[in-house]
Chain A
């Protein structure tokens, strides 16, 4: 159903940017522990700020988890276990199934959105990761109708010219097939020039 949609979020090579240690060496278990903590935070606050690579990786996990929760529901034991594993604070398990599942059943995936935060220091890249449909004011401004902007007006006019020329060329072809009669080009120009003059 929806696995295809997530593929755009998944890079071809597996990422392991999240590295966490308990002792000296980063371990697999601690990596999952870290992911789990951040997922809990995301499900609690619905909008978190983190490093870009962390955010991109957690986005993948969140997408998959929500997809499974929507597909199988709370009565499905393994799904319940997985959700239970990722939600460290247990009230979020209820939130997932009671709030998020009905909410995202209406959406099409992806269910999350990522925004890159502008920073002064280029080396530090931070992102804002949010679940869609959260109660906060939107990060992105309202999309505007750009029909009236200068570029769009000019391009629309250019398009009209282009189409007109094409039609002319086609009609000329057809005419030349039927009977080779040429229309005086000056006449059409004269029409255009007889527009009312407006001076400032």
Chain B
């Protein structure tokens, strides 16, 4: 029995390390700069033929390639590896430890791999020197670190990050759910709270009138489900406003917003990007560690809203719970039904609801 127990442990470790390796050596990351430039052909050569074939997929691929290229550039720019001291304060003394990590390279997730398997698996967010910090954001200096998950006594930060990530997933779904002849532009989502009972994402689609059927909602939920099953990490990258503009030049909403976003940031010219799978989105963050932390989830409704000036906007709404948190179906149905109601938070951008 003991043998088998060890054997199992070993297997789990191996599997886990494999995941980790896969993450580090993702094909996205491995894309070289040359490759990237070739993929964004229309940018450099600006052929009329390629411009004509602009679809959601091509835009997404271009953004992804730019993101990957920028990321590799940033990693390679770290020429000298410096060591930093990361102090972990666990629940008891036996758990606490001090780790020697690499500056600008190691992330809180790397720290968890040195501490405990369970923490690596469950933690959604790190707290570095008292500030919430993404799990996949490299550490800048020696620091104290703690890890948050959803079953703590007051998981406020983790909840908010979870809700934000929900919106990211909605935008991911909206981006790839439609046929090529419908052009999708994701509006930057507004500040959200838990009170309305659903996270949301405003999306501009050149669809005149559309109220999705139940089956269509279910089909869109399925996209989300597949993404969650992949347990993909959510990466973070800070880029300059220029690059951001280059990436989002097809999106008229983002194009207008990026300068103001960049002004608000600390260095006045940086924009924070998040990537899940191959979908890139602007957000201040922080987000949770990976999509596998999502448990029960549902894309509950798509409400049409009017936008002054440009075409039709649709408000995507969804409800989700962390995988850590079990809930009976009776209560889940109540939450789900509540998520179907129109979420009217930050309606000032959107001046008027079209249909009640």
Q: Interface of A with B (CB < 8 Å)?
A: 120-121, 144-146, 148-151, 153-155, 157-158, 161, 189, 192-193, 195, 197-200
Contact A193 B347 (CB under 8 A): yes
Instruction: State whether A198 and B190 are in contact (beta carbons under 8 Å apart), knowing that A154-B197, A158-B338, A189-B344 are contacts in the complex.
Output: yes
Instruction: State whether A144 and B153 are in contact (beta carbons under 8 Å apart), knowing that A157-B194, A161-B338 are contacts in the complex.
Output: yes
C-alpha spacing A15/B112, complex, angstroms: 48
Question: Can you name 13 A-B residue pairings with CB atoms under 8 Å?
Answer: A144-B152, A145-B153, A149-B159, A150-B150, A150-B159, A150-B321, A154-B335, A157-B195, A157-B196, A198-B190, A199-B188, A199-B349, A200-B189
Which residues of A are found within 8 Å of B155, using beta-carbon distances? 148-150
Q: In this complex, what residue of A is CB-closest to B282?
A: A200
C-alpha spacing A144/B155, complex, angstroms: 12
C-alpha spacing A149/B322, complex, angstroms: 10
Asked whether any CB of chain A lies closer than 8 Å to the CB of B266, the reply is: no
C-alpha spacing A127/B261, complex, angstroms: 58
C-alpha spacing A161/B155, complex, angstroms: 23
Contact A155 B334 (CB under 8 A): yes
Q: Interface of B with A (CB < 8 Å)?
A: 1, 4-5, 8, 150-156, 159, 162, 188-191, 194-197, 261, 283-284, 319, 321-322, 325, 327, 331, 334-335, 338, 344-349
Contact A151 B327 (CB under 8 A): yes
Given A149-B151, A195-B345, A197-B190, 8 more pairs with CB closer than 8 A: A146-B153, A148-B155, A151-B331, A157-B195, A197-B347, A198-B190, A200-B189, A200-B190
Contact B151 A198 (CB under 8 A): no
Contact A121 B325 (CB under 8 A): no
Contact B190 A199 (CB under 8 A): yes
Which residues of B are found within 8 Å of A193, using beta-carbon distances? 344, 347-348
Contact A197 B349 (CB under 8 A): yes
C-alpha spacing A120/B1, complex, angstroms: 8
Which residues of B are found within 8 Å of A161, using beta-carbon distances? 338
C-alpha spacing A157/B194, complex, angstroms: 9
Residue of A121, A145, A200 with most chain B CB atoms under a 10 A cut-off: A200
C-alpha spacing A182/B151, complex, angstroms: 45
Which residues of A are found within 8 Å of B321, using beta-carbon distances? 150-151
Contact B325 A150 (CB under 8 A): yes
Q: In this complex, what residue of B is CB-closest to A153?
A: B194
Residue of A145, A155, A161, A199 with most chain B CB atoms under a 10 A cut-off: A199
C-alpha spacing A83/B98, complex, angstroms: 53
Which residues of A are found within 8 Å of B347, using beta-carbon distances? 193, 197
Q: In this complex, what residue of B is CB-closest to A145?
A: B153
Which residues of A are found within 8 Å of B191, using beta-carbon distances? 198-200
C-alpha spacing A29/B319, complex, angstroms: 62
Contact A158 B335 (CB under 8 A): yes
C-alpha spacing A148/B157, complex, angstroms: 11
Nearest Cβ on chain A to B94's Cβ, whole angstroms: 12
Which residues of A are found within 8 Å of B190, using beta-carbon distances? 197-200
Instruction: State whether A158 and B284 are in contact (beta carbons under 8 Å apart), knowing that A144-B152, A199-B346 are contacts in the complex.
Output: no
Q: In this complex, what residue of B is CB-closest to A150?
A: B159
Q: In this complex, what residue of A is CB-closest to B198?
A: A154
Contact A120 B197 (CB under 8 A): no
Contact A155 B335 (CB under 8 A): yes
Nearest Cβ on chain A to B166's Cβ, whole angstroms: 11
Contact B283 A154 (CB under 8 A): no
Contact A149 B348 (CB under 8 A): no
Which residues of B are found within 8 Å of A146, using beta-carbon distances? 153
Which residues of A are found within 8 Å of B349, using beta-carbon distances? 197, 199
Contact A200 B194 (CB under 8 A): no
Q: In this complex, what residue of A is CB-closest to B349?
A: A197
C-alpha spacing A192/B159, complex, angstroms: 24
Contact B325 A149 (CB under 8 A): yes
Contact B338 A148 (CB under 8 A): no
Which residue of the partner chain, among A144, A158, A195, contacts B334 with CB atoms under 8 Å?
A158
Which residues of B are found within 8 Å of A155, using beta-carbon distances? 331, 334-335
Contact B153 A148 (CB under 8 A): yes
Which residue of the partner chain, among A145, A154, A198, contacts B194 with CB atoms under 8 Å?
A154
Contact A200 B188 (CB under 8 A): yes
C-alpha spacing A156/B181, complex, angstroms: 43
C-alpha spacing A189/B283, complex, angstroms: 29
Which residues of B are found within 8 Å of A157, using beta-carbon distances? 194-197, 338
Which residues of A are found within 8 Å of B151, using beta-carbon distances? 144, 149
Which residue of the partner chain, among A148, A189, A195, A200, contacts B154 with CB atoms under 8 Å?
A148
Q: In this complex, what residue of A is CB-closest to B194?
A: A153
Which residues of A are found within 8 Å of B325, using beta-carbon distances? 149-151
Nearest Cβ on chain A to B122's Cβ, whole angstroms: 14
Which residues of B are found within 8 Å of A148, using beta-carbon distances? 153-156, 159
Q: In this complex, what residue of A is CB-closest to B319?
A: A154
